[in-house]
């Protein structure tokens, strides 16, 4: 198995087939597989069990506010409700972070109140870094007032050190230190349980709230975790508290006594930590170099040592030892002094600011010169030069580089250059021309709600709203949560812009945004708040807003705040026919009227508001799957022969499900039914190609028939060679899985990690999604080892990946993915299908270069180490859609022997995942078949006829089409025009056909203009009806969306003729109209008198004249100009106003290129 450790065998290992997902909370001992958020839930259950064993009747209480990296903690708590209820643990989400902290503070008053129903309440507060900041006043007071002796509180801070999904990086321990709050700094998920139990004991003893750092790389990762023993207690501590004790009491009136008690709490923390030391020596003893670590940086250091080949023996030879600090503030002095005693040098490895380093220097500064180390280095060396960065994130290679530098000073004979080179990143690879930028989901309300009228600007909101900043929507700026629009108060007084829009989600409105609106009203500023009511907190997973909220209530609240112009905009305004619940003066509009409503609002002085109501697309999809929301029996399709490829549908809908379709006649559009969330705004594109299929269902292959067809081949699949390292502690796999948000990339990583866990291996998985709920880049890092102690950090370091599972080659070719690839080491299994990026919705020319992406992968890994399979094509042919493509790709990798887990474990892991189990197992099996017998599936779903690439075929196919369009004479006219260009080109450039091909495509584009006769012919063509029958089954009917020029009198929200929905009854009319095509362009043509038809006929004549002039003036040095000019009409796409705008854009270039053709060629000197 290339890229995997030696020692291969084909037999499959035994698995723990009794394991259930619920064991993460139910198993009493042994190993379980936990994510960071699940570990926090399990911690609460362990504390409850510990108290029961101690004879305490306690309860638990959790509150806080979601936000990445703690965006899923509330969901984990809800999912574990039966376990929480059984252990008297309550979860009450906070409306915001500071109110959640205040609620937790109340739990510590139970014991002293004399009214408690339990002995005490252990509490947990949680919030991401900005939530820690905004809750500073509460947390400072709560820590000062104190915890209760049989309660205790952990303040869990979700710190995004790498700014993966936050407005800026965060390091909350600095704030906690300012509040005299002790800080525990676990290195990863495996320490969450032990550190959490320690934290509760420390809080109970000291009366302090205990900070608990949960950074992204820890809390968003998953790992095999050994459950701690609850029989191990904490040793008694001799400490004399001040009079009145350290815990919560009342009265506790403002005085300096509070400050004095805080100092006593810190002393109590140190006393507890001295007796119950959570700091430990993990490698070696003594030596000239003592390395002190804390938090996630400890794992970076241990991985650096592993890669450098420094184990216990080598460490002793070098003279180094490693000491891990668990309580990063306040530093326990006895352990720290014992580490420093006899050391020549101390290297402190910690991420971000020098918290431990600073304390250590303070502690050692006053020691006599002979008793303190020669140097304490970390962020800088002894000369002040930078050593380990205080910004960004540490990585093993960064730590290794610094460590080798320190060793080299003392032991120059020690040569680590080869091993260090193996770890250091190479030259940064170039990013793809079109990166996979996060985007709104298909059918997302933000696609429409974040639009602003021409000439206006909007300010971004927290969460999904912020993505409008990179979508050409005149959206700027960002404030903290709860400050939306308030910065305009200051800016507007010194700006010539009279008005601005502010985007705001209803979750943020409920959290704190209403106060921002109140401030804007008080300041009498000109601003329109656009409050999106999408019925879910979309960015963090679709949670409900943490309290009662409705459109009606929001309008009444806004009115109560003094806002007198309020509008509700909805995709279903009919639900507000009875408006008794809305504020009395509220108006209701369809979403297509948004532009007009906004234009009105921006002219009104003061604060105005729009409540845009439309359910979150991702939440709609979830609810429809669960059967809690009606699933409309309507699918949108595009007749690609009618489609002009203008992209107006994508621009109006901003929808990722509007995807390119390569056809003989250019890049058209199609609807990806796998991802479509049935928003239907694509049909707002001014184009007659859209057809609604009402009723029926998507036709899918019968799974039993598919399985039966390949039954013998599937049954004959051999087991691949399976990785089994001779050293059971060896790293077995470092696998990077990359793809597009919302397509199941994370699920593949979770299945593989669980399979390793079932085989008794240690595994970890880290998922980085950032804003990528949908559409953006997702990186899932999977590491597997025989021994958990060997796994260390969760992320894969540069050049260390053994396999890249490229579910999307755009992401696989990104710098973050490519830097993990090493030439000759890494294997790549890639999906040949490349989905367009969000840029395609705004510019149809922006398509990823599939060939270029694969070339990048082959350059990085090696040309023979990249396996490519068109997973989407095969899976769609087998199952009817592409949803299972990533699982199929996993099957390919397994059969190639690239996964370090066996078939039984993988099968069981898929079953435990619990979603679509039969389909996922079949997709996995067919992936294996594709790897073993690729020829069997090679033709599945293949296009019937590839687009022509040679001139003769290009011309013949278009001439045949034009014959059906009009008649043979019309086709001959086309052939003659192309032939004239061909002859002229042959005269100046023998063998070249680039000009003739450009004329062939452009002339066809102009001559086959889609008038009423042609649209009717193409919609009534039996071939189109057949294509629908092949895609849909059941009782369905087509509905055509058209804007007939003689019938469409009204205009839509874009100022364009309003489209009409015409049912199947129109088909006979279409057939009759198609038969009248001979009238086209004659005096009897009733449609030929419209401005658009006159323009189209004039364009044909003009292009014929242009080609004639090109043929006459063509020379070798004018050929490039001639080709550019001849190709211009291919950009004149669309219908009605869209086509007019395209012509206006092309016209100046047409004239300029004609002028260039007429200029005398420059003479050679």
Q: Where are the domains of the chain?
A: 23-275, 280-423, 446-615, 627-699, 705-937, 951-1157
- Output the CA–CA distances (angstroms, integers) from residue 1158 to 399, 1095, 1153, 1161, 1162, in the order listed: 66, 25, 9, 9, 12
pLDDT for 10: 53
Going by C-alpha positions, the residue among 829, 833, 878, 869 that lies closest to residue 740 is 833
- The Cα–Cα gap between 694 and 1028 comes to 12
Residue 7 φ/ψ region, left for φ over 0, alpha for ψ in the -120 to 50 degree band, beta for the rest: left
pLDDT for 725: 53
pLDDT for 729: 61
> What is the arithmetic mean of pLDDT over 55-72?
94
> What is the arithmetic mean of pLDDT over 67-71?
89
The pTM assigned to this predicted structure is 0.93
Burial class for 365, CB neighbours closer than 10 Å (0-12, 13-18, 19+): exposed
pLDDT for 589: 94
pLDDT for 577: 76
> What is the arithmetic mean of pLDDT over 904-926?
94
Going by C-alpha positions, the residue among 952, 90, 792 that lies closest to residue 394 is 792
CB 758 within 8 A of CB 457: no
Fold classified for 280-423: Rossmann fold (3.40.50)
> From 3.90.1170.50, 3.40.1190.20, 3.40.50.10610, 3.40.920.10, which CATH number describes the 705-937 domain?
3.40.920.10
Q: What percent of the chain has pLDDT over 90?
A: 81
pLDDT for 721: 80
> Which tens digit of pLDDT belongs to each residue from 145-191?
999 999 999 999 999 998 888 888 999 999 999 999 999 999 999 99
pLDDT band at 756 (very low <50, low <70, confident <90, very high): very high
Q: How many residues does the chain have?
A: 1165
How crowded is the C-beta side of 75, counted as CA atoms within 13 Å?
16
Collapse the DSSP code of 501 into the 3-class scheme (helix H, G, I; strand E, B; otherwise coil) and give the result.
Answer: strand
> What is the arithmetic mean of pLDDT over 821-825?
94
- The Cα–Cα gap between 444 and 781 comes to 29
Same fold, 23-275 and 280-423: yes
- Residue 753 pLDDT > 50, yes or no? yes
pLDDT band at 774 (very low <50, low <70, confident <90, very high): low
> What is the arithmetic mean of pLDDT over 873-887?
92
Collapse the DSSP code of 64 into the 3-class scheme (helix H, G, I; strand E, B; otherwise coil) and give the result.
Answer: strand
Radius of gyration of the chain (CA): 34
H-assigned helices in 253-295: 256-275
Residue 286 φ/ψ region, left for φ over 0, alpha for ψ in the -120 to 50 degree band, beta for the rest: left
- Residue 1047 pLDDT > 80, yes or no? no
> Which tens digit of pLDDT belongs to each residue from 433-456?
788 888 988 998 999 999 999 999
pLDDT for 1165: 40
- Output the CA–CA distances (angstroms, integers) from residue 250 to 111, 114, 244, 254, 899, in the order listed: 11, 11, 10, 11, 61
Q: Rounded to the nearest 10 degrees, how much is the dihedral formed by the CA atoms of 583, 586, 588, 594?
A: -130
* Residues 6 or more apart whose Cβ sits within 8 Å of residue 509: 517, 531, 549, 554
> What is the arithmetic mean of pLDDT over 24-39?
95
pLDDT for 731: 73
pLDDT for 545: 75
CB 820 within 8 A of CB 804: yes
Pick the range with the lowest mean pLDDT from 103-117, 468-482, 886-900. 468-482
- Pairing assessment for the beta strands 183-184 and 8-9 based on DSSP bridges: unpaired
pLDDT for 773: 55
pLDDT for 17: 86
Fold classified for 627-699: Alpha-Beta Plaits (3.30.70)
- Residue 9 pLDDT > 60, yes or no? no
- The Cα–Cα gap between 594 and 448 comes to 8
Mean pLDDT of the chain: 92
* Residues 6 or more apart whose Cβ sits within 8 Å of residue 208: 143, 146, 147, 180, 181, 182, 202, 246, 265, 266, 268, 269
Fold classified for 23-275: Rossmann fold (3.40.50)
Burial class for 1040, CB neighbours closer than 10 Å (0-12, 13-18, 19+): buried
> Which tens digit of pLDDT belongs to each residue from 1090-1114?
999 999 999 999 999 999 999 999 9
- Residue 279 pLDDT > 90, yes or no? yes
CB 212 within 8 A of CB 196: yes
H-run or E-run covering 134: helix 129-134
> Which tens digit of pLDDT belongs to each residue from 662-683?
999 999 999 999 889 999 999 9
- The Cα–Cα gap between 959 and 968 comes to 8
pLDDT for 873: 92
- The Cα–Cα gap between 430 and 409 comes to 35
Going by C-alpha positions, the residue among 854, 839, 840 that lies closest to residue 808 is 854
- Residue 344 pLDDT > 50, yes or no? yes
Pick the range with the lowest mean pLDDT from 121-135, 440-454, 513-527. 440-454
Instruction: Please determine, looking at this structure, whether the domain spanning 446-615 carries the CATH number 3.40.470.10.
Output: no
pLDDT for 748: 95
- Residue 485 pLDDT > 90, yes or no? yes
- Residue 639 pLDDT > 90, yes or no? yes
- The Cα–Cα gap between 580 and 937 comes to 60
- Residue 2 pLDDT > 60, yes or no? no
């Amino acid at each position: 198995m290339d890229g995997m450790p030696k020692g291969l065998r084909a037999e499959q290992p035994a698995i723990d087939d009794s394991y259930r997902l619920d064991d993460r909370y139910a198993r009493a001992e042994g190993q379980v597989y936990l994510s960071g958020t699940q570990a926090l839930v399990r911690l609460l259950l362990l504390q409850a069990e510990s108290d029961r064993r101690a004879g305490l009747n306690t309860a638990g209480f959790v509150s806080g506010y979601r936000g990445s990296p703690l965006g899923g903690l509330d969901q984990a708590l809800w999912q574990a409700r039966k376990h929480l209820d059984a252990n008297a643990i309550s979860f009450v989400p906070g409306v915001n972070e500071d109110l959640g902290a205040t609620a937790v503070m109340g739990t510590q008053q139970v014991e002293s109140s004399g009214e408690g129903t339990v002995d005490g309440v252990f509490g947990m507060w949680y919030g991401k870094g900005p939530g820690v900041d905004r809750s500073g006043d509460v947390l400072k007071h709560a820590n000062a007032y104190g915890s209760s002796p049989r309660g205790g509180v952990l303040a869990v801070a979700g710190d995004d050190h790498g700014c993966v999904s936050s407005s800026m990086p965060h390091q909350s321990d600095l704030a906690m230190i300012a509040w005299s709050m002790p800080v525990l700094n676990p290195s990863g998920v495996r320490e969450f349980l032990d550190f959490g139990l320690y934290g509760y004991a420390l809080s109970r003893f000291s009366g302090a709230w205990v900070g608990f750092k949960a950074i992204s790389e820890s809390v968003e990762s998953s790992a095999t975790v050994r459950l701690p023993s609850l029989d191990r207690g904490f040793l008694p501590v001799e400490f004399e508290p001040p009079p009145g004790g350290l815990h919560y009491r009342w009265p506790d009136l403002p005085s300096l006594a509070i400050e004095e008690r805080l100092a006593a709490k810190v002393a109590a923390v140190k006393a507890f930590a001295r007796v119950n030391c959570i700091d430990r020596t993990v490698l070696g003893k003594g030596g000239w170099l003592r390395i002190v670590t804390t938090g996630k940086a400890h794992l970076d250091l241990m991985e650096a040592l592993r890669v450098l080949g420094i184990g216990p023996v080598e460490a002793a030879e070098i003279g180094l030892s490693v000491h891990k600090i668990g309580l990063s503030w306040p530093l326990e002095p006895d352990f720290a002094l014992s580490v420093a005693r006899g050391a020549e040098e101390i290297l402190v490895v910690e991420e971000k600011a020098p918290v431990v380093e600073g304390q250590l220097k303070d502690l050692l500064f006053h020691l006599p010169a002979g008793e303190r180390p020669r140097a304490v280095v970390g962020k800088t060396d002894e000369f002040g030069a930078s050593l380990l960065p205080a910004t960004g994130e540490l990585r093993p290679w960064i730590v290794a580089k610094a460590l080798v530098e320190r060793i080299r000073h003392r032991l120059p004979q020690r040569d680590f250059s080869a091993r260090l080179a193996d770890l250091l990143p190479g030259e940064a690879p170039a990013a793809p021309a079109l990166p996979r930028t996060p985007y709104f989901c298909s059918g997302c309300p933000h696609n429409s709600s974040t639009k602003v009228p021409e000439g206006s600007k909007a300010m971004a909101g927290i969460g999904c709203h912020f993505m409008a900043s990179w979508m050409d929507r005149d959206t700027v700026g960002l404030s903290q949560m709860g400050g939306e629009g308030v910065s305009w108060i200051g800016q507007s007084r010194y700006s010539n812009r009279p008005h601005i829009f502010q985007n705001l989600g209803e979750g943020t409105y409920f959290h704190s945004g209403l106060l921002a609106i109140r401030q804007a009203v008080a300041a009498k500023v000109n601003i329109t708040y656009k409050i999106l009511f999408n019925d879910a907190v979309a960015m963090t997973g679709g949670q409900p807003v943490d309290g009662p909220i409705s459109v009606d209530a929001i309008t009444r609240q806004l009115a109560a705040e003094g806002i007198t112009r309020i509008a509700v905009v909805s995709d279903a305004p009919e639900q507000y026919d009875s408006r008794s619940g809305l504020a009395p003066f509220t108006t209701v509009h369809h979403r297509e009227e948004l532009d007009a409503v906004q234009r009105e609002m921006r002219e009104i002085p003061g604060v105005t508001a729009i409540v845009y109501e439309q359910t979150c697309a991702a939440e709609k999809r979830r609810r429809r799957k669960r059967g809690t929301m009606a699933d409309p029996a309507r699918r949108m399709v595009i007749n690609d022969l009618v489609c002009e490829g203008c992209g107006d549908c994508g621009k109006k809908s901003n929808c990722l499900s509007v995807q390119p379709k390569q056809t003989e006649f250019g890049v058209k559009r199609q609807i990806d039914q796998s991802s479509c969330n049935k928003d239907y705004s694509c049909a707002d594109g001014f184009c007659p190609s859209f057809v609604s299929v009402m009723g029926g269902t998507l036709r899918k292959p019968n799974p039993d028939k598919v399985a039966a067809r390949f039954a013998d081949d599937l049954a004959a699949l051999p087991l691949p060679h399976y990785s089994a390292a001779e050293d059971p502690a060896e790293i077995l796999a470092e696998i990077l899985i990359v793809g597009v948000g919302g397509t199941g990339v994370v699920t593949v990583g979770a299945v593989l990690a669980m399979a390793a866990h079932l085989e008794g291996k240690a595994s970890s998985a880290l998922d980085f999604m950032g804003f990528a709920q949908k559409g953006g880049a997702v990186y899932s890092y999977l590491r597997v080892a025989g021994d958990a102690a060997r796994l260390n950090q969760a992320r894969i370091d540069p050049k260390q990946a053994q396999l890249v599972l490229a579910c999307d080659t755009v992401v696989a070719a990104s710098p973050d993915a490519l830097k993990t690839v090493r030439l000759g080491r890494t294997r790549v299994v890639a999906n040949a299908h490349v989905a367009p990026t969000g840029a395609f919705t705004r510019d149809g020319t922006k398509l990823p270069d599939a060939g270029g992406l694969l070339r990048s992968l082959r350059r990085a890994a090696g040309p023979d180490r990249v396996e490519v399979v068109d997973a989407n094509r095969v899976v769609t042919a087998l199952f009817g859609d592409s949803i299972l493509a990533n699982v199929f790709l996993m099957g390919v990798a397994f059969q190639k022997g690239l996964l370090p887990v066996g078939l039984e474990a993988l099968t069981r892991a898929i079953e435990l995942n619990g979603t679509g189990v039969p389909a996922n197992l079949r997709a996995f099996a067919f992936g294996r078949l594709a790897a073993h017998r690729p020829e069997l599936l090679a033709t599945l779903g293949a296009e019937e006829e590839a687009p022509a690439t040679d001139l003769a075929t290009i011309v013949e196919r278009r001439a045949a089409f034009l014959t059906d369009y009009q008649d043979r004479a019309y086709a001959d006219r086309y052939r003659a025009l192309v032939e004239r260009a061909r002859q002229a080109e042959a005269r100046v450039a023998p063998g070249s056909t680039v000009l003739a091909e450009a004329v062939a495509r452009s002339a066809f584009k102009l001559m086959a203009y889609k008038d009423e006769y042609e649209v009717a012919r193409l919609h009534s063509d039996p071939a189109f009806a057949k294509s629908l029958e092949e895609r849909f089954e059941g009782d369905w009917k087509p509905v055509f969306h058209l804007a007939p020029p003689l019938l469409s009198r009204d205009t839509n929200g874009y100022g364009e003729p309003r489209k009409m929905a015409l049912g199947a009854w129109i088909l006979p009319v279409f057939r009759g109209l198609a038969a009248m095509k001979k009238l086209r362009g004659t005096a009897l043509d009733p449609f030929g008198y419209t401005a658009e038809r006159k323009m189209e006929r004039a364009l044909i004549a003009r292009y014929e004249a242009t080609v004639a002039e090109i043929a006459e003036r063509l020379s070798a040095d004018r050929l490039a100009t001639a080709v550019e000019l001849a190709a211009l009409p291919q950009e004149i796409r669309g219908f009605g106003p869209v086509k007019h705008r395209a012509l206006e854009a092309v016209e100046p270039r047409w004239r300029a290129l004609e002028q260039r053709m007429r200029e005398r060629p420059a003479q050679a000197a």
